[in-house]
Chains A and B, each alone.
Chain A
Amino acid sequence: DAKTTQPTSMDCAEGRAANLPCNHSTISGNEYVYWYRQIHSQGPQYIIHGLKNNETNEMASLIITEDRKSSTLILPHATLRDTAVYYCIVRVALLSNDMRFGAGTRLTVKP
Chain B
Amino acid sequence: QSVLTQPPSMSAAPGQKVTISCSGSSSNVGRNDVFWYQQFPGKAPQLLIYDDDKRPSGIADRFSGSKSGTSATLAITGLQTGDEADYYCGTWDSSLRGWGVFGTGTRVTVL
Do A and B form a real pair?
no
Chain A interface (Cβ < 8 Å from any Cβ of B): none
